[in-house]
Chains A and B, each alone.
Chain A
Amino acid sequence: MTPRWRTRLLVGLALAVVAAAIYFPILRRRVQRAARLQQQSEEQARRELTLTLPANPGQPRVKTKLFWASSTEDGVLVPTTVDLPLSDDPVLRAKQVLNTLLAGPVDTELRTLPPDAALLEFYLLPDGTAIADFSEALATSTPSGIQSEQLAVDSIARTLEADVPQVRRMRILIHGQEMETLAGHLDLMGTFVVNMNPALAPTSRPSATSAPAADKASAEPGKLTPGTAPGKLAQPGHKP
């Protein structure tokens, strides 16, 4: 290679380096902006949903039961009754009660769900199966353990049972996806029994789900009652 060619090669490389040096900071800013936008949209979704809460001023206030951890007995859920202007529409109603449940009790030690978790969407199928889609924080911030994960799911199921009679069963999704477990232990691939009271059951439901008698048989222990196990969700820092 002649010296002249070498010079040209070096000039070419130098130009390329200069171009890259100019372009990379721009690229980095774009990547950061994209990440910020994604974060914002999640936060926005959460805010939009929580904003629907007080949006029923015309509705009469009804006694709403929310299940949080007991302050006296470890690992047990107790209902707290609050007056909320709940919607008559089961989906809106479920969103309202679950958002209030997620907002947590006055005593934050008695939370059953992580403070950063949000309900992203809630669907109710004609057969009474609810699909509750939560943000990833429900999986990443719930303390890992059979007891803590059971308490989290049970507080959701029992709150829906008490306040939204149309819900019979529940599936939990995390950010729209099926997850194998909540935080390493509790099975999220199955359906949780919420309410099997036939008097409250919707009239039109597909026969594929099963006969009412069989439903009833599976209802009692499937309710995920935590029994008298000790412990509460007070250590959001102790998770994997």
Chain B
Amino acid sequence: MLLDVQFSLRNGIFVIGGLLSFVLAGAALKSSSQALAQTQPVAATQAPVSQSAPAQPATVPPVAGQTQRGGLSVVVLDPAHGGTDPGARGTGGVRESDLVLEFSDPVRRALEAQGLRVRQTRQGNDDPSLDDRSTMANAQRGTVFVTLHVSSTGLPGTVRVYTMTDFPPMTDTTGMLAWDRAQAPFLELSRKLGDLVQGQLSQRFKGSPGTAQTAAVRQLRTTAAPAIAVEVSSVTVDDRAALERMAPGVADAIARGIAAFRPIYEASPVVGALP
């Protein structure tokens, strides 16, 4: 009898324990679902913070009063997006990240034919951070940076070149160039390069503008070298082949534009000092 009472007591505890664990699990689920609304914005806040994290310690050493030694020898070619970021997407399944990678092959060959070395920010379907891409150009001198894009809008068959917009006046007086405004001293050179490449493109692709435009392109801001963004219109084409046919013309225009920019770059004083 005593044994029986003990058994039923234990049994009761067991059943209550089982129920309690279910209720607890349910409550945890409920609270996590309520916290969902808060979790998303928090994640969004953290992203820019971590991106801008290198902004504080990372600086580009300034060099002033020298002329360019060694000249222009390297082009950092950046097929934008990649990995989980497809960039612009068309209804016909065209993805910006795939197309720019395809474009980078003929562009690389055309640049190498001009005697330039080419370093690509990505070779496959991966997605290096915007800062990592800039780092490839910032790590050495004698470099220009070209980021390749395909737009969602615009007259199909046209190509536009963008350079970074002006930076707000500098308030920092540490003598070091802040990472987040690395492009500032290169703006003038970037615009010369942009106009040369855009000029070549407008000859090949009717309807393209005659000169480069300015836009606050995030990728260009942290690049400490003459830097341009080249954007082809657009992923909305029904036939992907129409865009692929543009690749040799785009490649030739970029290579000729950079070749024409070489003497301008080499005659310019070493940039890297504060503007």
Contact = CB atoms under 8 A, between A and B. Distances in A.
A177 B51 CA distance: 14
A212 to B, nearest CB: 10
B65 to A, nearest CB: 23
B207 A230 contact: yes
Interface stretch (A79-87, A99-107, A216-224): A216-224
Given A179-B44, A230-B158, A148 B26 contact: no
A156 interface: no
B171 interface: yes
Contacts of B180: 189
B15 A15 contact: yes
B152 A238 contact: yes
A230 B155 contact: yes
Interface string A177-189: 1111100111101
A132 to B, nearest CB: 15
A240 B91 CA distance: 11
A8 B207 CA distance: 82
Interface residues of A, number: 72
Given A27-B29, A217-B169, A240 B160 contact: no
B48 interface: yes
Given A143-B153, A147-B160, A221-B214, A238 B235 contact: yes
A74 B216 contact: no
A191 B168 contact: yes
Nearest to A145: B151
Interface string B226-256: 0001010111100000000000000000000
A228 B213 CA distance: 9
24 contacts: A8-B14, A11-B11, A16-B15, A24-B26, A144-B88, A145-B149, A145-B151, A146-B149, A146-B151, A146-B162, A147-B160, A150-B216, A177-B41, A184-B88, A187-B218, A189-B180, A190-B168, A220-B166, A224-B165, A226-B213, A230-B233, A238-B89, A238-B152, A239-B89
Given A151-B153, A175-B44, A210-B171, 16 more contacts: A8-B7, A11-B11, A30-B30, A34-B33, A145-B231, A176-B41, A184-B85, A185-B219, A191-B168, A208-B171, A214-B169, A220-B166, A221-B166, A224-B216, A227-B209, A230-B158
